[in-house]
């Protein structure tokens, strides 16, 4: 009885919360874009279509009012008090047209005196009360039917939900004025019924020992092809609570995973080279390595460059860090090093990443002769084809990172992987998710299946982003769930359920 009442209250609270979230969402829909009217994408929210319907004039046919683009701003977390508010704002751009978009920007109304402190996937500029947000890097191009979410943190004199005054797609101002509230959509594809795999007796490490690279294949101590399958943490500084032994054990015993990637941002807020507490971060790594070791799992120490674009920028710190890590874990057969998560921006293979790797690898090798070292590749670890034409020579047990976000990265990146493998380059999918490159937006499970065909047919190793309950699609745990281990299936996000199923081999 109590439970029933309690459940009812929970449902009421959840509904109230939803209403608040919906109220905080401001969107703008365009009646007719400049590039077609066919909203054929499965990734587009139904709620957006409903709002378009509401705003159509009676004489327009359904086809004519189909939105070509949708753009909306969501205020995520906010903090501060009277006179000084701070908030995280995410802007989702949905391309419902039948043509790819190369660039887009939005003008938002903000109170005078506002300032942006941090951005992802965009650049910002404030003049008076107009904040211009220009999508850049991974945020700029949105293929037809796709969507992207970029964002920024902003301080404002008062708490606001900014309105979009105007926006531009490929240089053309869009003339939409219809306002619509919409909520984040979720894809409701049926998840295959779970079937537990035959549990391995003994731990992964006991059974497979020190790993090596043979040709393009990761192999175990018996020379048998071996696939590492597991999850990446979110930024260690942001979600330290998931570095706990029970969490890793859940991944091992319930999910069937054998690897955990410890992602340590270098340049984001709280990053190792951007004011983060280095000792605390190293303690988290040490705890993570020890829990993994006690559980007989493999563990990747990830130098998570991202905002810093070029690994050369923090190379001095990286040298000290990897000297220390490799000395500490020299005798651990289960530790892998990932030396630069995602070079991007102007960082090229020949000019930046390769020279960096050629400096860092010998530093690790001085202490640890044979650990697997994963080298990031240019364009957010996508250009394995370029690397395949000019790999690092004279070293063994080197692999190269390829990362994908299934709703953004499709055939062209898979083709790069195939090219790389065909040219003898060992590839490791050290980070991926099913949604778009922002880590958010709708999952594209069709594309994810295609990726897994490629992964499994080549026995590629992989880690899914991210072991956290952040309110974003790529988080594996439901955002309402605060448990840090022992999650039931219901406590996993759509992504979490799908990945668990995948790792389990169903």
Show which residues are catalytic.
342, 431
Question: 380 is written with which tokens?
Answer: 């957010």
CB of 380 to ligand IDC, least distance (A): 5
How far apart CA 133 and CA 150 sit, in angstroms, is 9
Helix axes 445-457, 411-422, angle to 10 degrees: 10
- 267 is an interface residue for ligand IDC by CB under 6 A: no
Contact stretch for ligand IDC (CB under 6 A) within 163-171, 213-221, 248-256, 432-440: 432-440
Q: Provide the CB-side half-sphere exposure for 47 (13 A, CA).
A: 17
Contact stretch for ligand IDC (CB under 6 A) within 124-132, 204-212, 323-331, 466-474: 466-474
Nearest to ligand IDC of 67, 306 (CB atom): 306
Question: 48 is written with which tokens?
Answer: 């957006």
User: Which single residue brings its beta carbon nearest to ligand IDC?
Assistant: 439
Restricted to residues 384-423, the positions that interact with ligand IDC (CB under 6 A) are 403, 405
Burial class (CB in 10 A: 0-12, 13-18, 19+), 448: buried
H helix intervals, 273-341: 278-294, 315-328
Contact stretch for ligand IDC (CB under 6 A) within 40-48, 77-85, 222-230, 434-442: 434-442
Q: Which of 137, 431, 444, 494 binds ligand IDC (CB under 6 A)?
A: 431
Q: Which of 27, 145, 230, 439 binds ligand IDC (CB under 6 A)?
A: 439
CB of 305 to ligand IDC, least distance (A): 9
- 341 is an interface residue for ligand IDC by CB under 6 A: yes
Interface map 468-487 toward ligand IDC (x if CB under 6 A) = --x-x-x-------------
Contact stretch for ligand IDC (CB under 6 A) within 184-192, 385-393, 465-473, 478-486: 465-473
Restricted to residues 120-149, the positions that interact with ligand IDC (CB under 6 A) are 120
Chain centroid offset of residue 426 CA:
22
How far apart CA 479 and CA 419 sit, in angstroms, is 38
Nearest to ligand IDC of 250, 438 (CB atom): 438
Query: 34: Cβ–Cβ under 8 A, 6 or more apart, which residues?
Result: 68, 169, 170, 172, 174
Nearest to ligand IDC of 352, 408 (CB atom): 408
- 237 is an interface residue for ligand IDC by CB under 6 A: no
Q: Which of 267, 268, 308, 310 binds ligand IDC (CB under 6 A)?
A: 268
Strand intervals (E) in 266-397: 298-304, 335-338, 373-375
Best CA proximity match to 210, nearest among 430, 417, 431, 396 = 396
H or E element at residue 361: helix 354-367
How far apart CA 292 and CA 243 sit, in angstroms, is 10
CB of 11 to ligand IDC, least distance (A): 28
Q: Which of 85, 291, 380, 487 binds ligand IDC (CB under 6 A)?
A: 380
- 92 is an interface residue for ligand IDC by CB under 6 A: no
The sign of the dihedral angle between the CA atoms of 74, 80, 85, 88 is: negative
How far apart CA 358 and CA 155 sit, in angstroms, is 42
H or E element at residue 130: strand 130-135
Best CA proximity match to 476, nearest among 415, 426, 435 = 435
- 437 is an interface residue for ligand IDC by CB under 6 A: yes
- 306 is an interface residue for ligand IDC by CB under 6 A: yes
Nearest to ligand IDC of 217, 430 (CB atom): 430
Q: Which residues bind ligand IDC (CB under 6 A)?
A: 120, 268, 306, 341-342, 380, 403, 405, 431, 437-439, 465, 470, 472, 474
């Amino acid at each position: 009885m109590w439970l029933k009442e309690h459940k009812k209250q929970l449902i009421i609270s959840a509904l109230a919360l939803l209403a608040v979230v919906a109220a905080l969402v401001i969107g703008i829909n365009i009646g007719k874009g400049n590039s077609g009217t066919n909203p054929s994408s499965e990734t587009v929210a139904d709620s957006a279509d409903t709002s378009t319907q509401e705003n159509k004039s009676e004489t327009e046919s359904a086809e004519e009012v189909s939105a070509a683009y949708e753009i909306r701003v969501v205020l995520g977390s906010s903090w501060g008090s009277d006179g000084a508010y701070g908030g995280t704002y995410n802007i989702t751009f949905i391309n419902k047209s039948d043509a790819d978009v190369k660039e887009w920007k939005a003008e938002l109304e903000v109170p005078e005196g506002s300032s942006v402190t941090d951005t992802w996937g965009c650049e910002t500029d404030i003049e008076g009360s107009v904040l211009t947000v220009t999508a850049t890097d991974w945020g700029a191009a949105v293929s037809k039917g796709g969507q992207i979410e970029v964002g920024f943190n902003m301080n404002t004199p008062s708490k606001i939900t900014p309105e979009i005054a105007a926006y531009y797609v490929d240089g053309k101002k869009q003339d939409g004025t219809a306002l619509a509230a919409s909520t984040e959509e979720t894809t409701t594809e049926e998840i295959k019924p779970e079937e537990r795999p035959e549990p391995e007796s003994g731990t992964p490490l006991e059974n497979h020992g020190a790993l090596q690279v043979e040709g393009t294949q990761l192999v175990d101590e018996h020379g048998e092809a071996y696939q590492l399958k597991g999850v990446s943490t979110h930024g260690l500084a942001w979600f330290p609570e998931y570095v706990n032994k029970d969490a890793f054990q859940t991944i091992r015993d319930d999910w069937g995973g054998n690897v955990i990637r410890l992602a340590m941002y270098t340049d984001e807020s709280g990053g190792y080279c951007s004011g983060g507490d280095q000792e605390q971060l190293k303690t988290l790594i040490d705890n993570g390595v020890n829990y993994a070791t006690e559980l007989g799992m493999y563990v990747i120490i990830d130098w998570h460059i991202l905002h810093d674009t070029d690994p050369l920028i923090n190379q001095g710190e990286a040298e000290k860090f990897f000297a220390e890590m490799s000395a500490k874990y020299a005798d651990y057969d289960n530790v892998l090093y990932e030396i630069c998560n995602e070079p991007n921006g102007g960082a090229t293979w020949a000019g930046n990443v390769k020279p960096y790797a050629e400096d860092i690898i010998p530093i690790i090798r001085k202490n640890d002769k044979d650990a697997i070292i994963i080298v990031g590749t240019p364009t957010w670890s996508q250009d394995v084809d370029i690397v395949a034409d000019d790999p690092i020579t004279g070293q063994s047990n080197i692999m190269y990172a390829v990362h994908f976000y299934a709703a953004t990265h499709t055939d062209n990146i898979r083709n790069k992987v195939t090219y790389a493998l065909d040219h003898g380059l060992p590839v490791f999918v050290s980070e991926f998710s099913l949604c778009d490159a922002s880590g958010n937006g709708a999952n594209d499970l069709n594309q994810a299946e295609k990726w897994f065909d490629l992964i499994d047919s080549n026995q590629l190793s992989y880690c899914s982003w991210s072991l956290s309950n952040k309110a974003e699609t790529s988080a594996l745990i439901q955002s309402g769930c605060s448990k840090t281990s022992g999650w039931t299936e219901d406590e996993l996000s759509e992504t979490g359920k799908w990945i668990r199923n995948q790792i389990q081999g169903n």
